[in-house]
Amino acid sequence: MHLHADTRRLPGIPGARHTRWAVRLAAATVAGLAMLATGLAALPAGAAGTTLYVDRSASCPGLGLQAAPYCTIGAAAAAATAGTTVRVAAGTYPETVTPARSGASGSPIVYDADPGATVRGGTNGFTVASRSWVTVRGFTVADIEAVIDLYLAGEISTDHLTAAVRPLEEANEALEDLRAGRVMRSVLVP
């Protein structure tokens, strides 16, 4: 847009209309900036119902956004709250993931892995012994035998830990996933 040099008005807009137009433009600009600022502030990492993203190849520290993911699962675990889904890209994550908090009934914290995501840390990859309503699915966990030993020793509970929900007709596949160490627990549903 070009302003007339002598009147400082937009071409084709008379004086009174120009003033109303300029006020509306200024109000719209302020409202737009307020919406942008509010929108950014209203989406903190880990807010209920959000998705946090993790990619081992991302730059650290990351923001948990799809365009700027966290580089560790642990960073997402620290930010996740009830109702949050943590989406983990393929890759090997050399860490033990300890969720900072539990999910809630009907709003679990879900750790959902893309094919090829492996957690290789400590003895079991995820430490969820003191947490509930946490869903871990799709990961390959190194050293699954250590997890079984901890469970048998009574050191971890799977009461509220769901690794996979599968239809009853996939019972054989669920058992094979368990034996292969791809899941820690499966729930079969009719």
Which 3 state secondary structure label does DSSP give 160? coil
Residue 142 reports pLDDT greater than 70: no
Lowest mean pLDDT among 39-43, 60-64, 144-148, 164-168: 39-43
Domain residue limits, the chain: 1-42, 51-189
12 sits in the region (left: phi over 0; alpha: psi -120 to 50; else beta) called: left
Among 25-34, 62-71, 81-90, 139-148, which stretch is predicted with the lowest mean pLDDT?
A: 25-34
Separation CA 158–CA 173 (nearest Å): 20
C-alpha span between 124 and 148 (Å, rounded): 9
Prior bond to 44 cis, omega within 30? no
Q: How far apart are CA 76 and CA 97, in angstroms?
A: 9
Q: In the predicted model, is pLDDT for residue 25 greater than 50? A: no
Percent of the chain residues topping a pLDDT of 90: 28
Say whether pLDDT at 75 is over 50. yes
